[in-house]
């Protein structure tokens, strides 16, 4: 089994209106030291071992469903679970 942590964020070239709204709210609360806010998604997947390469599976999941490759970037971390 693998535990996969997937992080999806808007590309730097894409405007982030939600991040802009959060930044504005933080500034109105006098957190003026916050220079920028980008909003993203975080997912944890548990994937069973198969004959397929785990990196291939995760990349396929991300490009086909979890992220929109036109406007989003993704990265992931894979941990192999120890089953007792």
Q: Please tell me the distance from the alpha carbon of residue 84 to that of residue 58, in angstroms, as a whole number.
A: 24
Which domains are seen in the chain, by residue range?
Answer: 2-80 (3.30.1280.10)
pLDDT in tens, the chain (84 residues): 999 999 999 999 999 999 999 999 999 999 999 999 999 999 999 999 999 999 999 999 999 999 999 999 999 999 987 665
User: What digits encode the pLDDT tens for the residues 67-80?
Assistant: 999 999 999 999 98
Which residues have a Cβ under 8 Å from the Cβ of 53 and sit 6 or more positions away? none
Within 10 angstroms of residue 65's Cβ, the number of other Cβ atoms is 8
Q: At 59, phi and psi to the nearest 5?
A: -60, -40
Of 84, 81, 79, 68, the residue nearest 8 (C-alpha)? 68
């Amino acid at each position: 089994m693998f535990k996969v942590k997937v992080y999806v964020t808007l590309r730097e070239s894409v405007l982030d209106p939600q991040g802009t709204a959060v930044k504005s709210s933080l500034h109105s609360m006098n957190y003026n030291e916050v220079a920028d806010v980008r909003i993203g998604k975080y997912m944890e997947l548990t994937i069973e071992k198969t004959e397929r390469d785990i990196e291939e599976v995760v990349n396929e999941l991300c490009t086909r469903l979890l992220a929109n490759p036109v406007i989003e970037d993704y990265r992931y971390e894979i941990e192999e679970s120890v089953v007792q």
